[in-house]
Amino acid sequence: MALKPGRTNARPTAPYRLEPFDPSQAVLVASWVCDAHEAYWLAPKTAPPVTADDVRAWSRPGYEQLQLVPARGRIPIAYGELNVLDSRRGLYWLGHLLVAPQRRRCGVGAALTSALLNRAFSNYAAAAVTLVVFPDNAPARACYYRAGLREDGWEVHYLPPYQRRVRLLRMSIKRPVPAPGPNF
């Protein structure tokens, strides 16, 4: 599928702020993974169960771990990563997007995704941002769609903990095109 320039459907994230991940919150973030199936969807290259050490280990060069926090709070309600795919071409990808169970299905996932996209485009002048998702993860796909990502093909990934190859849906968005200005 062709990737068209997009626009983020970002609602203002005023009730939240995106900030660098605090590694002391890794225990909390790991606790949000409710079961083995959710661990598989979230981190299929990490052997279950997902632990605080696993969350901390997701940090590597080119991977920016971030947390979404209520504007008037200090405890994160969502976690995600903005990772470099190809810095010369301005390509980034989102990884390990996770929302606290009690905050799911009320717009926090879309706010997290939108905040990550806005950071990629505003702070890094990203040309495009992608992610991969299991095709049967309908809630995640709907969330990413609400944030402006669109289906952009398939990728095959090998998952060492499960010793299998899987086909994942790639979703992408290009840098939003500014609206044309007045013609004088």
116's tokens:
């990550």
Instruction: Give CA–CA dist 125/120, Å, rounded.
Output: 6
- pLDDT, residue 4, reads 40
Residue 99 lies in a domain: yes
Quickly state the pLDDT bin for 14 (edges 50, 70, 90): low
SS3 content of the chain, % helix, strand, coil (to 5): 30, 30, 40
Instruction: Give CA–CA dist 30/50, Å, rounded.
Output: 6
- Number of structural domains the chain divides into: 1
- Residue 99 burial (C-beta neighbours within 10 Å; 0-12, 13-18, 19+): buried
Its domain, for residue 133, covers 16-174
Residue 183 lies in a domain: no
Residue 9 lies in a domain: no
pTM for the full predicted model: 0.89
Residue 6 lies in a domain: no
